[in-house]
Amino acid sequence: MDLLPRSHKEFGSVEYWDKFFKKRGSKAFEWYGEYPELCDVLHKYIKPSDKILMVGCGNSQLSGDMYDVGHRDITNIDISDIVIKQMTDKNREKRPDMKWVKMDMSQMSFADGQFSAVLDKGTLDAVMTDDSEEVSSKVDQMFKEIGRVLRQGGRYVCVSLLQDHILRKVLKYFPEIGWPVRIHQISEQTNPAEEKEFHMPVFLLVFTKFRKIPSSRQILEVSNDDDKIQRFDDVEKLSAWVKESQYYAVIKHQLSQKSISDEQITLELFGLNSDSPRYTLYVVDSPTKCSNKFAIFIVPEGRETEWLFSSTTGRSQLCRSAGFERLVIVTLHRMQKYESLEKIKAELSTKVMELSPPSLPRGIQVPFLSMGEDIGLRTIQHQGQSPHSGEFVVEDVEGDAGSLFRRLIFLSNQNAIQSEVRLLKDTVKKKGGKKTNLVSIDSSYLACQNHTAMVAGLALVEEIQNFLEVGFSALVLGLGGGGLPKFIHDHFTKVSLTAVEIDPVMLTVATDWFGFQESDRLKVAIGDAEDVIKQMADGGEQHLVVMLDIDSKDKTMGMSSPPLVFVQPEFLKTIKQLLHPEGVFVLNLACRDESLKTQVISDIQAVFPKLYCVSVSGEVNDILYCLPCERPDLPDLADETLPTELSNDLRTLNKLINKAAINDELPDLLEAMEGLKAL
């Protein structure tokens, strides 16, 4: 499979190309490839018997090299009288049949259909300096003349760097006149001693002269390294392939020249026919010298969301632990099929070897690492679309020791688990002795440390043990797969709980796939949480506990939870209005913008007299506990030791969880409260 990356922004800015050509200077032909680099592809389209016209020949050695291997009928033209005289003198004795003519290629004197091939090495790039109307008109005339002197079925073979404006031009002009387009990327033969600060791949384009057939489809093709031809439906997709090739060439060159220990480069590799990535590659360099130079680590399916692979810090730690100078961490994508670890290695081997560090000796065997002998297990159970969150999937993945989990993943943020439950495997014996494996939901499992710390917040309710005996009402803002409200409902049997969810699709998903069920103690209010909370407060409702766990869809801010509106003073005052005086408002805050985080905390403190915080280990999340009244019995926790009363309340909550548990892998609320501090 031919794999290419896609950049996250439009590749090829004007500034980049300005620097590129300034750096290139007079080294025109070195940058466009020598004959040994071009010959494999050239000889597929130009035969020794062909009558060849080389336009804008300059002092290139290309036509001379072609002559020497048997192409005798070559005519070279250039607008420079000096270069034509130089090349005539240079080749007169050694290549007597070669023709050199001073001529403007936009006004050629050759007869119609005189040539079977027109060869252009960098001339189009030299002529089309920009996409102004004047230059574009000149290029149109050049193409028109090339078309005139070519016979039917003849080929215009153009060697180009395909700057963005040139790419747009050729993909507009030639398909419109009915000429098939095929593009090759030239495999370079790099000279290690050659300095190339700005590196771009060379392309060989083949335009075949055909009469335009009305209503016929455009023929747009690329040829990859193993000579397989890939056809595209439209010019946009072909253009994307070119840009991806350019982007990859630049990244590959950067990685071959230097260490990147101060950053991590991310590449997504796509198959030619795929609109979704097949692999994501994270290139991680160790900040220290290592005896082991280079390795590839393949993350099993479904494990890419784990901290070790999904975070910059985790990947750096993995690189250090593995003991390699450079580690390429590869994650596998849902919606793609993978046969085996060996097939993945074979598919990736060429691409990942191009990302090796500059210190890697030639011919060394590069190890592939993984967490086991297989590629993991991921089964997509359901795919859907939400008007609020976009496309999503429900998938079952295998964890350590054969454990099985079901996850809700929003495809807009594929490395984040929106909701998760643990599945229990039950074996049922049917008639005839046949056994069938079924799965059920483990109701004692909390998917993440965030939720464990939020449940632990119940201990900050004054006299919580009395409330647990007589019962109380609670709100959870944000349903997702329903794991948090279901856990509270199942383990604290006197709690009446309402979950507020803006998206009715999520209620269906939670019910159908995550074991969530409404009951007389567990209800779901569908609507915007801001509106629902205001209506409840206006109606005089009061709740002992309110938990806010809603992710933000606004990617422009440095805060992924909650949306900004839910930490504005007006909303916070409404929350306080419906909160019992002895209750607690628990908030999952995930904010990377320190100034914004400081402002959010300041706004909360202006509304709630007492604020406590637990930072979730290894995550950006802080769980905030906001109290509507002062609690003299709770100190400022300056010594980082939990007060006795709070510890006892947490133990009481743990006992209730243990009582309802169906296995011994239970969340520890005392442990979740470690590091609690007053703000």
CATH for 449-678 is 3.40.50.150
Q: Nearest CA to 516 among 623, 413, 408? A: 408
pLDDT of residue 443: 83
CA distance 488 to 472: 12
Give the predicted TM-score (pTM) of the model.
0.67
Number of helices (H) and strands (E), helices first, in the chain?
21, 29
pLDDT of residue 31: 52
Do the domains spanning 258-370 and 449-678 agree at the CATH topology level? yes
Amino acid letter, 639:
D
The series of mean pLDDT values per 10 residues for the chain, 679 residues long, is 45 44 44 80 94 92 94 95 92 94 95 97 90 93 97 96 93 95 79 50 94 86 80 89 84 76 81 76 89 91 87 89 92 88 88 82 83 81 92 89 88 85 74 66 87 95 93 95 94 95 95 94 95 94 96 84 94 96 95 93 96 89 94 70 88 87 77 90
The two tokens of residue 600 are 């959010």
Q: 275-319 pLDDT, tens per residue?
A: 678 899 999 998 888 888 899 999 998 888 888 898 888 899 999
Amino acid letter, 567:
V
Residues 6+ apart with CB under 8 A from 524: 479, 498, 499, 500, 501, 507, 518
pLDDT of residue 437: 61
CA distance 368 to 451: 36
Q: Domain spans of the chain?
A: 3-252, 258-370, 379-441, 449-678
Helix runs in 132-234, H state only: 133-149, 164-176
CATH architecture of the domain with range 258-370 = 3-Layer(aba) Sandwich (3.40)
Q: What is the CA radius of gyration of the chain?
A: 33
Which DSSP string do the residues of 633-673 spell out, in sequence order? TS---TTS---HHHHHHHHHHHHHHHHH-SSS----HHHHT
Q: Which CATH class is domain 3-252?
A: alpha beta
CA distance 297 to 366: 11
pLDDT of residue 298: 94
Q: 408-461 pLDDT, tens per residue?
A: 999 888 878 889 999 987 755 566 656 566 788 888 888 889 999 999 999 999
Contact (CB, 8 A) for 441 and 514: yes
pLDDT of residue 377: 83
